[in-house]
Homo-oligomer: A and B are copies of this chain.
Amino acid sequence: MIVGRVAGELTSTINHPFFDGRTLLIVDRETPDGEPTGDYLVAVDTVGAGRGQRVLVLDEGNGARQIVGCSTAPLRSVVVGIVDALG
């Protein structure tokens, strides 16, 4: 799993029906010290994370599908926690 910060949302009209009503977050990857690594990923929110919050992201398809309760979801990355502290 990796840590990142929510940078915004992705809006998409034409897409797979699974994404209807789901929030797709842009998450900038960060080091444990909070420095951006320059990399990012797009993850489905499951904890109500908002812009600027530090989050824990699971980047693995089978686990991601378990979280959303849908074994056929076209999904790889999910925000699974909001980070309070690191250290």
Complex Cα spacing A3 to B81, Å:
23
Contacts of A73 in B (CB 8 A): 63, 66
Candidates B8, B71, B75; contact of A58 at CB < 8 Å:
B75
Q: Is the CB of A14 within 8 A of B64?
A: no
How far in angstroms is the closest Cβ of chain B from A37? 9
Q: Is the CB of B40 within 8 A of A32?
A: yes
Q: A32-B26, A74-B67 are in contact. Are A83 and B11 (CB under 8 A)?
A: yes
Candidates B75, B81, B84; contact of A16 at CB < 8 Å:
B81
Q: Which positions in A face B, CB cutoff 8 Å? A: 1-3, 7-16, 19, 24, 26, 28, 31-32, 40-43, 46-48, 56, 58-67, 71-78, 80-87
